[in-house]
Amino acid sequence: MLALALLVIPLGACSLFGDKDVQAPDEPADKLYNEGVYLLNRKSEYKDAAKKFEEVERQHPYSEWARKALIMSAYARYEGKEYDEAVNAAKRYVTLHPGSPDAAYAQYLIGSSYFDQITDITRDQARTERAVAALEEVVRKYPNTEYAMSAKRKIDIGRDQLAGKEMLVGRYYMDKKDFTGAINRFKIVVTQYQTTRHVEEALARLTEAYMALGVVNEAQTAAAVLGHNFPDSRWYADAYKLVKSGGVEPAENKGSWISRAFKKLGVG
């Protein structure tokens, strides 16, 4: 009896004096959810709103409210610029509810979270690559949703950013007279980012690099493809002068990788 009494006393003490480890009873899911919506609408309280939505999940994990709260917590974290948390919540949503009407928005939130962290081209572009990949998933999986069009616009911006990074490195190699290294960078722009604004300069730089190496037929092809696709470009004017100064004209070699790259994408 004494042993039993000793066991019971601490439990009674917890009840009388309060125990910080004792969990409060669950609150109704709709109450927690609506409190989260209220905080979300106040704009400055995104973190607190997210915590309310996360409580819905914790206290009512298998309810319909939990599903709704998960996408709302991802949105609240995104609006609060807590991008890593937003990505994690949105990824969980896509994994748990792939057939939900909100799955497209969750995937879009993943891409947008990475997109909003894009840095200038002098810095690492890993987030840009993640943004493009995640947004391409939106277009691929949910092409008929309202998010697909917005995703396409962001993809174009992201791809332009990645092309700009390659151009920056390519120019650096040109300055160092490392023409082979420069060609490899400009080749990426021509083959992978052909629809960006950087492709004209890339073709002109290829003309310059190939002329410097004495690979005249590739220089002629780069200039010819540039002139055919962008006849009014100032870059074509420079490329044309450069090959002419070498005693030749722009002329496309159909077997060149440059020519094949444009044919493959239906350009030229």
pLDDT tens for each residue of the chain, 268 residues long? 333 333 333 433 343 334 444 455 589 999 999 999 999 999 889 999 999 999 999 999 999 999 999 999 999 999 999 999 999 999 999 999 999 999 999 999 999 999 999 999 999 999 999 999 999 999 999 999 999 999 999 999 999 999 999 999 999 999 999 999 999 999 999 999 999 999 999 999 999 999 999 999 999 999 999 999 999 999 999 999 999 999 999 999 999 999 999 876 544 4
Query: Which residues are CB-neighbours of 138 under 8 A, at least 6 positions away?
Result: 104, 107, 108, 111, 145, 147, 148, 151
Q: What share of the chain is helix, strand, coil (3-state, %, to 5)?
A: 75, 0, 25
Q: Which of 22, 88, 98, 18 is nearest to 57 (CA)?
A: 88
**Residue 23 has what DSSP assignment?**
P
Tokens standing for residue 255: 């077997």
Burial letters 12-32, b for 16+ CB under 10 A, else e: eeeeeeeeeeeeeeeeebeeb
Helical packing angle, 64-79 and 46-59, nearest 10°: 160
Domain 163-268 homologous superfamily, CATH: Tetratricopeptide repeat domain (1.25.40.10)
Residue 177 amino acid letter: K
Q: Whole-angstrom Cα distance, residue 237 to residue 259?
A: 19
Can you give the residue ranges of every domain in the chain? 163-268
What does pTM read for this prediction? 0.86
Q: Cα 154 from chain centroid?
A: 8
Contact 211, 246 (CB under 8 A): yes
